[in-house]
Structure 1
């Protein structure tokens, strides 16, 4: 069963090439073939992430993580900076601001201030001079970004690499195969980006290692859209 979650409206309008719209059925068919999609498949179109706007994001295997996030009864995080701080702490052990400041590119005082505010909000738990992340405050499910292109595989690959910073996997879907398909295939394998021609996978999508803060923030944006759908969040 496919459940579509509309994304929040944005000011202005995005140019949509007519030919790329021909790939809409193929994007859905490819999403249905993803691991875990048979149990639950949520799709969102024109998703604005921390970097770039993906044509379609498929979210699968939401089960326990979605339930745990809902049970926290906390509003979605509203900024990438807050998500980065939350993601830097562990839910299993106490970390100190000094140990995560350099990883985040923040001063120790900045981390202390943000972590204290996030602990007040319920996203972190203060433990002495350190903090740990609240159980359930984690990325929901697995997210796969799909980018539709007529034949511009280079442009698609560049965009997919940006999506891979905030999705678990990213792929490019072409309407027409490139002439040098074997060479192109090797490029995508090298960068661990999926490649499909219409609804046929040429390079299967692989799970990557997205930036923890960006991944959590993208998940919180998804959760926000989920909550705004009364039929799902009731």
Structure 2
């Protein structure tokens, strides 16, 4: 039986983050535990449009981190008329006109994104601008490649590229199913403790310009970036804090790392 290079998935995070360019060439910022609409990838690489992020921050507008807010924002951007009503938005979206008019639009107005032109008619204060040039999600597993494949596939709906990275000791079974990854457009790579990342299957770039799911992930990552954070909240897994087995946890750069908790390699 192969010997795992890593004791826990958390032990793989820092080595992958340090070699980000192997998975997404070019400059990028690294984040952890950023929620998508279909789960929480272990790592997100984001190549920000720094000028757009700076303009957003200077404008005083908040980052759009709620799904319904993002859907309404993009719907407003794509309408042909100068203003639009909640019932007209409801025809395009999976929310009622009442919810849009009583909750979503007032919240967007409070955060500086929309304004009411006249009774019942709303418009964007300024054209929505994507904050990311490129996004990439990474799912990390020790050996459970089938589960990782499914998660990477789901997370990929929110990103331009998606990867599954496995402990190199257990990469064989996944590599034997390369066609799965090729058909799905999901990247496959393995990680060695000293030799680093080995790309097995390259992902298919699938930029979704103005996709609700992509833009929501970019906004959530940008919110962390501006706040000087690298990770969203880290949840427990069956009551255990699955942090690193040794060394610092990159999700907790300020310290307070606990090398406790249970958690077999998966």
In structure 2, relative to structure 1, the CA distance for the partners of 1:138 and 1:123 (3 Å cut) is: farther
Counterpart position of 2:244: none
Please say which structure displays the higher CA radius of gyration: 2
SS at match of 2:77: coil
Inter-partner Cα distance in structure 1 for 2:202 and 2:83: 37
Query: CA-to-partner distance for each residue in 1:142-164, whole Å, 9 max, x for gaps?
Result: 22111111222210111112212
Aligned runs of 1:1-234 on 2, under 5 Å? Answer: 18-35=7-24, 37=26, 40-90=27-77, 94=82, 96-97=84-85, 98-113=87-102, 114-126=104-116, 129-132=121-124, 134-175=126-167, 176-179=170-173, 181-182=175-176, 184-198=177-191, 199-208=197-206, 209=208, 212-229=211-228
Q: Contact 1:194/1:204 (CA < 8 Å) preserved in 2?
A: yes
Whole-Å separation in 1 of the counterparts to 2:209 and 2:128: 19
Q: Please give the secondary structure, in 2, of the residue aligned with 1:171.
A: strand
Compared CA separation, residues 141 and 180, structure 1 to 2 (3 A): closer
Q: Quote the offset at 1:81 in angstroms.
A: 1.8
The structure whose residues are more often helix, as a share, is 1
Structure 2 unaligned blocks of 5 or more: 1-5, 192-196, 230-266
Find the aligned partners of 2:148 and 2:52 in 1 and give their Cα distance: 30
Q: CA contact under 8 A between 1:116 and 1:126: conserved in structure 2? A: no
5+ residue gaps, structure 1, are 1-16
CA offset at residue 200 of structure 1? 1.6
* TM-score (structure 1 length as normaliser): 0.73
Partner residue, 1:9: none
Rounded to whole Å, the distance in 1 between the matches of 2:174 and 2:217 is 34
Which structure exhibits the higher relative contact order, with contacts defined as CA atoms closer than 8 Å and separated by 6 or more residues? 2
TM-score by length of 2: 0.66
Greater CA deviation, 56-65 or 105-114? 105-114
Instruction: Give the paired residue count.
Output: 211
Structure 1 residues 204 and 64: alpha-carbon distance in aligned structure 2, compared to 1, 3 A threshold: farther
